[in-house]
């Protein structure tokens, strides 16, 4: 898979620890990758982020509830070790190949096309500390909006869906054509999420309505920062959990 445009940005890790996501933030459980058997280890906890990222999530939730007091952020996924990234990239590739009738283990043009499309959404599980997958840094979070009971709002496309439907503005044209339609509601929900996260200082992945980060290379690339604050962190490098 080719390097991302943010991959050349240098990383100067500030040493901030991982910490559990605050109880004030709703977690979508059971965690989807744990349910698939992703190798977090016997005591693995995917609901971890750098401490400064957790603080900013709380700011984002406050901003959301200023305008929409009935809503809350709902966390889908946080920190992800390389073994899980590798497992999930393979899972996504195999799933998309099967959906399209392509042999996931064949050395074929069709398989290569699927791998390219999957690579738009899943970062390669690079072991190079200069090019860490965003979630391995503890700086990236996948999330959605939920109502007061914790039920996720319809967003017009599932988290982790492969294809253009996952792009943040996918429903914008349909929303303009029919402001009272379903697509307009989905687009509005995506906008509310992005607006709240921006208030916390986060940047959004260009291909994924659900993925936001602060302090990693993607954040530096989108915000114009000269360097990233967070590199890959393994659990044993974080705080006591």
Residue range 224-230: mean pLDDT, rounded: 98
d(CA 178, CA 221): 34
pLDDT tens digit sequence for 192-201: 999 999 999 9
Per-residue pLDDT band at 187 (split at 50, 70, 90): very high
What is the DSSP annotation of 95-107?
HHHHHHT--TTS-
pLDDT of residue 135: 97
Could you tell me the residue ranges of all domains in the chain? 18-79+138-237
196 near 212, Cβ under 8 Å? no
Per-residue pLDDT band at 239 (split at 50, 70, 90): very low
pLDDT of residue 224 exceeding 80, the answer is yes
CA-atom Rg of the chain in angstroms:
18
Residue range 1-13: mean pLDDT, rounded: 87
pLDDT of residue 236 exceeding 60, the answer is no
pLDDT of residue 4 exceeding 90, the answer is no
pLDDT of residue 241: 33
pLDDT of residue 21 exceeding 90, the answer is yes
d(CA 86, CA 84): 5
pLDDT of residue 65: 97
pLDDT of residue 238 exceeding 60, the answer is no
| Percent of the chain residues topping a pLDDT of 90 | 92
pLDDT tens digit sequence for 64-87: 999 999 999 999 999 999 999 999
d(CA 144, CA 32): 14
Across the chain, what does the average pLDDT equal?
94
Residue range 203-217: mean pLDDT, rounded: 98
pLDDT tens digit sequence for 102-137: 999 999 999 999 999 999 999 999 999 999 999 999
Q: Provide CATH code, domain 18-79+138-237.
A: 3.30.1380
pLDDT of residue 2: 55
Q: Is 208 a catalytic residue?
A: yes
Per-residue pLDDT band at 234 (split at 50, 70, 90): confident
53 near 79, Cβ under 8 Å? no
Per-residue pLDDT band at 22 (split at 50, 70, 90): confident
What 80-84 contacts at long range (C-beta under 8 Å, 24+ apart), as own/partner pairs, is 80/33, 80/46, 80/133, 80/135, 80/136, 81/40, 81/44, 81/136, 81/234, 81/235, 82/125, 82/127, 82/133, 82/136, 82/232, 83/38, 83/39, 83/40, 84/33, 84/38, 84/39, 84/40, 84/44, 84/46
Among residues 208, 236, 237, 240, the one annotated as catalytic is: 208
């Amino acid at each position: 898979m080719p390097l991302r445009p943010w991959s050349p940005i240098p990383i100067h890790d500030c040493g901030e620890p991982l910490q559990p996501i605050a109880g004030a933030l709703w977690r979508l459980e059971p965690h989807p990758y744990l349910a698939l058997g992703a190798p977090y280890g016997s005591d693995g906890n995917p609901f971890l982020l750098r401490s400064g990222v957790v603080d900013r999530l709380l700011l984002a939730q406050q901003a959301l509830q200023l305008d929409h007091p009935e809503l809350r952020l709902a966390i889908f996924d946080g920190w992800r070790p390389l073994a899980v990234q590798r497992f999930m990239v393979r899972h996504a590739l195999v799933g998309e190949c099967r959906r399209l009738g392509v042999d996931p283990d064949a050395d074929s043009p069709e398989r290569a096309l699927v791998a390219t499309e999957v690579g738009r959404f899943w970062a390669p599980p690079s072991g190079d500390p200069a090019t860490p997958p965003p979630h391995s840094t503890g700086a990236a979070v996948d999330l959605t909006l939920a109502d007061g009971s914790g039920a996720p709002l319809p967003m017009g496309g599932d988290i982790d869906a492969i294809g253009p439907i996952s792009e943040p503005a996918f429903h914008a044209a349909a929303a303009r054509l029919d402001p009272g339609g379903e697509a307009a509601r989905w687009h509005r929900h995506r906008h509310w999420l992005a607006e709240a996260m921006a208030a916390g200082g986060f940047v959004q992945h260009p291909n994924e309505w659900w993925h936001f980060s602060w302090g990693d290379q993607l954040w530096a690339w989108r915000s114009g920062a000269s360097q990233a604050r967070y590199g890959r962190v393994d659990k044993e490098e974080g705080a006591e959990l």
